[in-house]
Amino acid sequence: MNPSDQMTADGYLDRYEAAAERDPLGGIALLAGWLRTDWRPLFAELRAHRPVLVTPAFALVTRFTDVTDVLSRGEVFTVSGYAPRLEAALGGPVMLTRDGTPLNWREKALMQVMLPPDDVPHVRELVGRTADEALDAARPRGRIEAVGELFRHICMTVCAQYFGFPGPDAQTLSRWSRAVMTDATANLAGDPQIHAAAVRAGGEMMDHLHRLLAERRAQLAAGRPPAPQDVFGRLVRTVLPEELALDDRRVAINVAALLLGFAENASGSMVHVVQQILRRPQVHRAAAEAAHDPDPAVFDPHVWEALRLDPFLKMIPRTCAHDHVLAAGTPHETRVPAGTLVLAAVASAMFDEAVVAEPEEFRLDRPRHVGLHFGHGPHACPGVHPGAAVICETVRRLLRRPGLRLLPPPDGLVVRDRDVFPDRFPLGLDQKGS
Ligand code: HEM
């Protein structure tokens, strides 16, 4: 990385304020552009001079303490912004659309039980085998299109063989995931066509899941139990006291959430991790050596440090339920008005000099608590254990390959859908060796 990326480039705030004075929308457009292209220096300047920036369209929160405060206060900074879109696609609420409700409490706890750390060895074995097969198949060509042939392929295989939700086929699963998550996370302007596509895809997915659930129940009744590490199978076999039991609609929605919480985030994150590692020759050499160590714990910290340097999910959105003062008692205390869209910039928090020493450096000795890759607070990710295993094991198998390299532009460029979701990332491989 260019070290100047981290330097405070005073000037963003002045330019924003000058533009916003002439035309508030022009100011927002400037900020939105910088959030895509200049996020590191923009966040560095905001952390130093305006850690909570309130604009007419959103509030940007950039320091570690304030970001974790926002994500910890579910009663003030709510997830109600996700609700209309996700609920329209799923036909009902899901834990991510409900704060502090009995539904959120019960179903989140249940899904944590269904996704235990004990599954990690099984998930690593499945992912490692699938990755090696894909890489072996690509090797004679001397290149792999890492998004389609590896990252999304692995996510859909995990969905089929670990979650127990194969869909009609991998391509359809992938399409459902992208359509629903585009509307939920990347449709800030509220484009009605994107929303309609998500509702259509979500409807198809829920109809399919209801049919699959009926099949699963019939198999169980016929004395054919599912495999032990089949998350859907576990849900179908779970017997809760009547007053806590999940009806069919709740079961189907929670299986849908497995795909939706996982696929876009995991495949996007893998692209960012691999780019960050391959751009640093020394780190690439060290990571490739660690990837051959039989203990995955030797390799995995490379992944989280690479993702810290360029997180796929840079900001987590919340809606401010009532006026609230952030950074209270500090020189930067700021009132956030009720109704504001609040962007908790985890990408900025993970560069905050107050908690991360030499934030621009690639270091493997980071304290665990500075990693916000799986969120923080009441909505932190229930799939963290298997989800982390998927990302680490996929990248580990890829890094073992000799001759792995970024390809020169334009061919090697990452192609993204709507500037957000990576769809294409060709990488070079040696045609010999494994
Ligand atoms: C087994 C795989 C995964 C599953 C089943 C899963 C599922 C979920 C679900 C259902 C939520 C909502 C939790 C709630 O509202 O309380 C969530 C939250 C989250 N997940 Fe995951 N996830 C997986 C993997 C991942 C991966 C690989 C990442 C990133 C690298 C990730 C990052 C997050 C983040 C940042 C949140 C918090 C969202 C927020 O606060 O708005 N997840 N996940």
Of the candidates 416, 157, 191, the one whose C-alpha atom is nearest the C-alpha of residue 199 is 191
Amino acid at 355: V
The per-residue pLDDT for 189 is 84
Q: Do 423 and 417 touch, CB atoms closer than 8 A? A: yes
Atom of ligand 1 nearest to the CA of 377: 40
Quote the CA–CA distance of 84 and 249 in Å, as a whole number.
18
Maximum distance among all Cα pairs of the chain, rounded to whole angstroms: 71
User: What is the three-state SS of 375-393?
Assistant: CCHHHCCCCHHHHHHHHHH
DSSP state letter for 81: T
Q: Confirm whether 152 is domain-assigned.
A: yes
Q: Mean pLDDT over residues 399-408, rounded?
A: 98
Q: What is the pLDDT of residue 387?
A: 98
Is the pLDDT reported for residue 3 higher than 90?
A: no
Q: Is the pLDDT of residue 402 over 60?
A: yes
Distance, in Å, from the CA atom of 126 to the CA atom of 139, rounded to the nearest integer, reads 20
C-alpha 376 – ligand 1 centre gap (Å): 10
Residue 188's pLDDT band (cuts 50, 70, 90): confident
**Secondary structure in 3-state letters for 139-167:** HHHCEEEHHHHHHHHHHHHHHHHCCCCCC
Measured distance CA(146)–CA(270) in Å, rounded:
9
Task: Please list, residue by residue across 102-126, b when 16 or more beta carbons sit within 10 angstroms of its beta carbon and e when fewer do.
Answer: ebbeebbebbeebbeeebbebbbeb
Average pLDDT, the chain: 95
CB within 8 Å of 83: residues ≥ 6 apart: 93, 97, 98
The residue whose CB lies within 8 Å of the most ligand 1 atoms, and thus the one to mutate among 312, 381, 390, is 381
Q: Is pLDDT above 50 for 7? A: no
Range with the poorest average pLDDT among 9-13, 169-173, 320-324, 341-345:
9-13
Does 114 have pLDDT greater than 80?
A: yes
> What's the CA gap between 193 and 83, in Å, rounded?
18
pLDDT tens digits, residue range 252-306?
999 999 999 999 999 999 999 999 999 999 999 999 999 999 999 999 999 999 9
d(CA 267, CA 176): 15
Closest CA to ligand 1's atom 4: 383
Query: Quick check: 180 and 265 in contact, CB under 8 A?
Result: no
> Has residue 262 been placed in a domain?
yes
Residue 275 one-letter amino acid:
Q
Which atom, in ligand 1's list, is nearest to the CA of 307? 30
- Region 347-371: what's the mean pLDDT? 96
387 CA → ligand 1 middle, Å: 8
What pLDDT sits at residue 49?
96
- Give the distance (Å) from ligand 1 centre to CA of residue 257: 9
Q: How many CB atoms lie within 10 A of CB 99?
A: 21
Element housing 286 (H / E): helix 281-291
**Token pair recorded at residue 175:** 């399409």
Q: Is the pLDDT at 175 greater than 60, yes or no?
A: yes
Residue 68 counted as domain residue: yes
pLDDT reported for residue 201: 98
Interval 394-403 mean pLDDT? 98
Q: Does the N-terminal peptide bond of residue 410 adopt cis geometry, omega within 30 degrees of 0?
A: yes
Taking residues 165-187, what's their average pLDDT?
A: 97
Report yes or no on 31 lying in a domain: no
Q: Is the pLDDT of residue 4 over 70?
A: no
382 alpha carbon – ligand 1 mean position (Å): 6
Q: What percent of the chain has pLDDT over 70?
A: 97
Average pLDDT over residues 384-399: 98
The upper half-sphere exposure of residue 345, i.e. CA atoms within 13 Å in the direction of its Cβ, equals: 24
Residue range of the domain that includes 104:
51-428
pLDDT over threshold 50, residue 5: no
Residue 428 φ/ψ, nearest 5 degrees: -85, 150
Mean pLDDT score, 388-410:
98
List of long-range contacts for 379-383, beta carbons under 8 Å, 24+ apart: 379/71, 379/74, 379/79, 379/95, 379/96, 379/99, 380/71, 381/261, 382/95, 382/108, 382/111, 382/112, 382/115, 382/261, 383/111, 383/115, 383/258, 383/261, 383/262
Tell me the DSSP string of 91-149: TS--GGG-SS-HHHHHHHHHHHHHS-GGGHHHHHHHHHHHHHHHHHHHGGGTEEEIIII
Residue 133 maps to a domain: yes
Place of tokens 């890759």: 373
pLDDT band at 432 (very low <50, low <70, confident <90, very high): confident
pLDDT tens, position by position, 28-81: 999 999 999 999 999 999 999 999 999 999 999 999 999 999 999 999 999 999
Pocket residues: Cβ below 6 A from ligand 1: 95-96, 108, 115, 257-258, 261-262, 265-266, 269, 313, 316, 373-375, 379, 381-383, 386-387, 391
Taking 60 as the threshold, does the pLDDT of residue 353 lie above it? yes
For the chain, how many structural domains are there in total? 1
Q: Indicate the residue type of 206.
A: M
Query: What is the pLDDT at residue 331?
Result: 96
State which ligand 1 atom lies nearest to the alpha carbon of 269. Answer: 30
Q: Is 341 exposed, middle or buried (CB count within 10 Å of its CB: 0-12, 13-18, 19+)?
A: middle
Q: Is the pLDDT of residue 404 over 90?
A: yes
Q: Looking at ligand 1, which residue's alpha carbon is closest to its atom 11?
A: 381
Does 431 have pLDDT greater than 70?
yes
Specify the pLDDT at position 434.
55
Domain holding 336: CATH number?
1.10.630.10
Q: What is the 8-class DSSP label of residue 426?
A: E
Residue 12 lies in a domain: no
User: Which atom of ligand 1 is nearest to 380's Cα?
Assistant: 37
Rounded mean pLDDT, 103-132: 98
